[in-house]
Amino acid sequence: MILDLDQYAEANGNKTKEEILHSLRQDYMTAVRIASLATTELRAKDPELLAYIDQELSYRFDDLGNCFYDCWMGIKNALMNGKRLATAPTTGDFKGALLNLPAIVLGAGPGASIRWDAIKASRGKAVLFICDVMLEPCLARGIIPDYVCSIERVPASFECMEGMDKTGITALLPPVMDSRVADDFDGRVIWCWRGCGLEIWLDHTVPRVDFGRSCGTQGVGAALIAGCNPVYLVGHDLCMDGDKTHCDDAQATTHGTAKNLDADEFHRRIPAKSISGRDVQTIRLWGMFKSDIEHIITMSPGPSVINTGDGLAIVGTSHGELPEIWGNSVSIPVVTRANPGQDPSELIDLMLGDIPKLRERYQEVMTMTTPDHKKLMLSTLANPRTAQAWTEIYASIYVPALVRLYFDNTQHLAMLKRVAKVILCTLDHIEKELHDIKNT
């Protein structure tokens, strides 16, 4: 397939490369559409535009899902979050809750190091959103944030904040988070309803939002959803300061970035220019976060977003600093759930009941002599109330197979059997852990 970017821009009324990218991110947001990019040829008269869009669309493949174990971990965590997912507020309830209140969104970049006094001076006068690795240094300085953003489903997200006093602080979490995090905040949680299949399964009536791929970008999205204005970005450098990848005081887990520099494509150092024109270095991962923030700002036009420090320029922001003098005191309202949802843990028995049917069907697929992809359709095998969960678990198995088939459809039968074999090899693991959750 050929995608002519000049024609695409004209059809969508796009004037800048950022507007073109925004439209493309809207058009290529499902697994099938992203997989189709594998055989899409981009064309444009401007070679710089072509290179920019080609690189940015390549990042979309990172949205096709994690490995099977990560996908299952997310579902498992959601099941263990159980009743809280049905009763605690979501970002749908958070919308407009902090209308026109000034906010600081604190990332872990090097630029945060020289702004601690200014952040402390803002307390009571501005809403403070922070990423999880900045809770420890905030508390050490007597700075109590209003909201802590955490995004990764792994145990380290709990461990990096374990044992700290979280009195009065609310966590902003996706449903895939380790349930111990919500427990540690005494249930003071606002669930970030992302644009994922899991959120559709949990409650399709809650508006889904693109929060990006880091707790820093999630904080930006949450502040804008809540209606904060202006929003000050601190520590969102998205580049190194000399040999520093993060603020000196950030929690120790951030040291892994420096250790991984140039170890893989995500951490490959790339030359860039700071806002002032300094020569700096960034990495592909931060480039993805930059694109996420720019997309999030486009999705919430209106509020003024001010980028402090001398990191990379972020389209949609203006450059500035934290005020020396703030206005009136702010009052942070308690956000509640308007419409309770479903407790996903109530569906564990249904999922256990699905497993014998899945085994039988995928064993049948292993004996097929002609390809029939309909036999692998999870929506025809599982209970209607659990099918979306199974789809989320096995998306990372199905989608790579789909990408391969876009390249070579002669692999059809062999690929269907590979998918069936992988699923058969993982069902025992899921069955055991479902029983473990049920008996907890």
Q: 297-318 pLDDT, tens per residue?
A: 998 989 999 999 999 999 999 9
In a domain, 6, yes or no: yes
Domain end marker among 274, 303, 319: 319
Q: Quick one: 177 and 144 in the same domain?
A: yes
What pLDDT is attached to residue 405?
77
Q: Quick one: 124 and 273 in the same domain?
A: yes
Q: Quick one: 86 and 55 in the same domain?
A: no
What pLDDT is attached to residue 26?
79
Phi then psi for residue 373, to 5 deg, are -65, -20
Q: Quick one: 45 and 163 in the same domain?
A: no
Q: Whole-angstrom Cα distance, residue 4 to residue 2?
A: 6
In a domain, 336, yes or no: no
Beta-strand runs (E) in 13-113: 41-43, 103-106
Q: Quick one: 118 and 265 in the same domain?
A: yes
Q: What residues in the chain have per-residue pLDDT under 70?
A: 63-66
Residues with Cβ within 8 Å of residue 105, at least 6 apart in sequence: 129, 130, 216, 219, 220, 223, 231, 232, 233, 234, 236
Beta pairing class for 279-283 and 269-273:
antiparallel
At 98 the three-state DSSP class reads: coil
In Å, how far are 117, 144, 153, 237 from 121, measured between CA atoms?
A: 6, 12, 33, 21
Cα atoms found within 13 Å of the Cα of residue 43, Cβ hemisphere only: 6
In a domain, 335, yes or no: no
In a domain, 118, yes or no: yes
Q: Quick one: 254 and 122 in the same domain?
A: yes
CA angle 48, 49, 55 (to 5 degrees): 90
Q: Quick one: 152 and 253 in the same domain?
A: yes
At 13 the three-state DSSP class reads: coil
What pLDDT is attached to residue 66?
67
Q: Quick one: 18 and 138 in the same domain?
A: no
Q: Whole-angstrom Cα distance, residue 231 to residue 199?
A: 27
What pLDDT is attached to residue 60?
78
In a domain, 103, yes or no: yes
Q: Quick one: 256 and 360 in the same domain?
A: no
Beta pairing class for 41-43 and 2-4:
parallel
Domain count, the chain: 3
| Structural domain of 386 | 343-438
In a domain, 163, yes or no: yes
Query: Cβ-count burial of 203 within 10 angstroms (0-12 exposed, 13-18 middle, 19+ buried)?
Result: buried
Phi then psi for residue 172, to 5 deg, are -105, 110
Q: What is the DSSP string of 351-376?
A: HHHHHHHHHHHHHHHTT-SS--GGGG
Structure tokens at 420: 């069936």
In a domain, 334, yes or no: no
Q: Quick one: 10 and 39 in the same domain?
A: yes
In a domain, 328, yes or no: no
Closest CA to 232 of 139, 116, 320, 112: 320
CA angle 246, 248, 249 (to 5 degrees): 110
Q: Quick one: 222 and 258 in the same domain?
A: yes
What pLDDT is attached to residue 64?
66
What pLDDT is attached to residue 35?
79
At 330 the three-state DSSP class reads: coil
Q: Whole-angstrom Cα distance, residue 52 to residue 32?
A: 23
What pLDDT is attached to residue 9?
94
What pLDDT is attached to residue 397?
85
What pLDDT is attached to residue 402?
76
Q: Quick one: 37 and 119 in the same domain?
A: no
Strand partners, 270: 282
Look up the pTM and report it.
0.89
What pLDDT is attached to residue 114?
96
